[in-house]
Amino acid sequence: MAIRAPEYFPRLEYFALMRAVDVFVIADTFQYSRQSFQNRTQIRTPAGRLWLSIPLLGGQHGRRICDVQVAQESDRWQRKHWRSLEFNYRSAPYFEYFEAELADVLRPKETALAEYTISSILCIRDILELRAKVVLASELRAGPSTVSEIMRVVDGHELITLEDTFELDRRAVTRVRVVTPGIEAYRQNFDGFEVGLSALDAVFNIGPFETTKLIGVE
């Protein structure tokens, strides 16, 4: 089992972890943290990388992620994100195959941040045809908000995680296995190679089959 906070169009490492487990818990009951990937992602441009951020109402730090609210700016930020993705990836080999799924994620929804982040995760999960069972922590009994609480509710025997994992209560989580994604450089739409981008970059440039091969773990 793996437990991770939701992210907006996550990086390849996120899906490498999902590929390595049978059950993947999206911990939308964790506290929201500024300067994380919980409401933003990075894409490739001719100049390097570009942040795409979902604007939030003020005073959201420390709230549960599932309670965090998006700033009401009509659909301006959704249109901006779509234009940025289309401008930088329209010429990529696989963009047109998945633009309908992408447009669906960016369609205006409710005011909750999780509506966008979780749909972005499930969008890429489906494109890559990953088989892990995805569970939302907010839908579990009593809404567990820590790793140990989630593991008790889900009855997880071993936690599989990445090296950048959050601090664990070793008294409550005794079996932990760290996996290391063996992600190598791949062909991007512009010269050079930028690391840490949204998994969309690989999907648009090399397709879902090669992306799934790319996210093997050791």
pLDDT digits (tens, 9 = 90+) for 102-160: 999 998 877 899 999 999 999 999 999 999 999 999 999 988 998 888 988 987 678 99
**Residue 162 clears pLDDT 90, i.e. is over it:** no
Place of tokens 């512009």: 190
Q: Which carries the bigger pLDDT value, residue 72 or residue 53?
A: 53
Q: What predicted TM-score, i.e. pTM, was given to this entire model? A: 0.93
Nearest C-alpha neighbor of 121 from the set 34, 214, 28, 194 = 28
Residues 150 and 167: their CA atoms lie apart, in Å, by 15
Average pLDDT, the chain: 90
Are the CB atoms for 127 and 12 separated by under 8 Å?
no
Distance CA 154, CA 206 (A): 35
pLDDT in tens, 163-177: 776 555 555 566 888
